Amino acid sequence: MIILTKDEILEHIAKIRKEIKEGAVFVYPTDTIYGIGCNAMDSKAVKRIRAVKNRPDQPFSVIAPSKQWILNNCILHKNNMHWLDKLPGSYTLVLKMKSKSSVSSYVNPGLDTVGVRIPDHWFTKIINEVGVPVVTTSVNKTGEQYMTSLDDLDSAIRKGVDYIFYEGIKTGKPSTVVILDKDEAVIKERK
């Protein structure tokens, strides 16, 4: 496990992009809290996150590499199109997928929906450059408090990742979930 700051990430950006695409599992900052992620199309990497979080079947969300990826891979009813304008931002939009092959079946087992985010954060540019959706879920064991700094990172998670991209203490809260798989939006605030 390697811990890198923003400057160190940018210094080694080509290697980092390649390793993300090839299945590295990593902790990373967002506009809300720290996330743990990997290439959402890489089943082996997604299974690693499931094991380290002790989260066998609850769905994960993804950071979309772009709004165009969302339009190409998800169904957004025309009366809900305005939600796309809220991205980048602290929203997770739950949408029906056009094809279940858009992400690994381990991202959202048995579901035809996926939560998508585009954080308002510098790290999102790296995901855009990699060009694949990236799993986004809080850095914690299921049912425990999410990570706000390296001091409260669970030791099993620390051992289970390849990289930690760290930028100091985070004081945000998880994103607001907006369920858009039907004509009307259902908003779920998270605490």
Q: Please give the pLDDT value at position 189.
A: 65
Give the C-alpha separation, 59 to 65, whole Å. Answer: 19
pTM of the predicted model, to two decimals? 0.91
Q: Please give the pLDDT value at position 190.
A: 62
Average pLDDT over residues 30-52: 95
Residue 187 vs residue 133, higher pLDDT: 133
Compute the radius of gyration of the chain from its Cα atoms: 15
Q: Which fold has domain 2-188?
A: DHBP synthase (3.90.870)
Which residue from 37, 33, 32 is spatially nearest to 126, judged by alpha carbons? 37
Instruction: Output the average pLDDT for the chain.
Output: 92
Reading the block at residue 57, the tokens are 């079947």
Average pLDDT over residues 14-43: 95
Beta carbons of 161 and 26 less than 8 angstroms apart? yes
Average pLDDT over residues 132-142: 91
Q: Please give the pLDDT value at position 72.
A: 95
Q: 62-101, pLDDT tens digit by residue?
A: 999 999 999 999 999 888 999 999 999 999 999 999 988 8
Q: 114-134, pLDDT tens digit by residue?
A: 999 999 999 999 999 999 999
pLDDT(55) > 90: no
Q: Please give the pLDDT value at position 100.
A: 81
Give the C-alpha separation, 87 to 173, whole Å. Answer: 17
Portion of the chain with pLDDT greater than 90, in percent = 76
